[in-house]
Amino acid sequence: MEKILFINTCVRDGSRTLRLAKRLLERLDGEVTEVRPDLNGLMPLNEKSLMRRGELLEKGALSAPELRAAHDFAEADIIVIAAPYWDLTFPSLLKIYLKNVTVCGVTFVYTPEGIPKGICRTKRLYYVTTSGGPIIHNFGFDYVRTLAREFYGIDDTRFVSAEGLDIVGADAESILNDAMRRLN
């Protein structure tokens, strides 16, 4: 059975992004583990946490509890990220999560030439979002896709969206249902 890691950064009750992501999860075959960065105690990196991470990596203590999120990420077969489209990108919770899982020796290594090489076993990453208007500049997905390919070694990144949900006259339910039907 595949291990599916579901990174949920939807903080609103009734989140349309969460509804779309849950429909995708229903169509995937595997055991789902949900991570809510706002509830799992992940904090922005600061001087103290960066120093602690550096000490752990220097000692080769890659199994330290502080690196558990990175290991869970690296060991997932499929990753589903649910991130509403806010202000041309994603919620800051996702950035905090990604900073916590981008760990040299766990999710990537550097080659002798200094180039990052991904070591995650993940085969596929889905980035699920919804937006009130059209997504013109997709800085959020572009950022995640670049990290996935360049740092984690995940080449198969897929974008799932329902856009224009809040445009005057739009039938938001119909748009969302159409996006759900297109899931593969």
* DSSP-assigned letters across all residues of 102-144: --BTTTEEE-TTS-EEE-----EEEEEEE-SS--SS-HHHHHH
**For a pLDDT cut of 70, what percent of the chain falls above it?**
99
Q: What one-character DSSP code corresponds to residue 89?
A: B
Summarize the confidence of residues 47-68 as an average pLDDT. 93
What pLDDT, on a 0 to 100 scale, did the predictor assign at position 3?
Answer: 98
Nearest to 101 by CA among 79, 86, 84: 79
* pTM: predicted TM-score of the whole model, two decimal places: 0.95
Residue-wise pLDDT tens digits, 24-50 = 999 999 999 999 998 888 899 999 999
Quickly count: other Cβ atoms within 10 Å of residue 121's Cβ: 13
What are the chain's domains? 3-181 (3.40.50.360)
Name the burial class of residue 46, with classes exposed (0-12), middle (13-18) and buried (19+) by CB atoms within 10 angstroms of its CB: exposed
Nearest to 179 by CA among 162, 159, 157: 162
Q: Is the predicted pLDDT of residue 161 greater than 90, yes or no? A: yes
Residue-wise pLDDT tens digits, 67-117 = 999 999 999 999 999 999 998 899 999 999 999 999 999 999 999 999 999
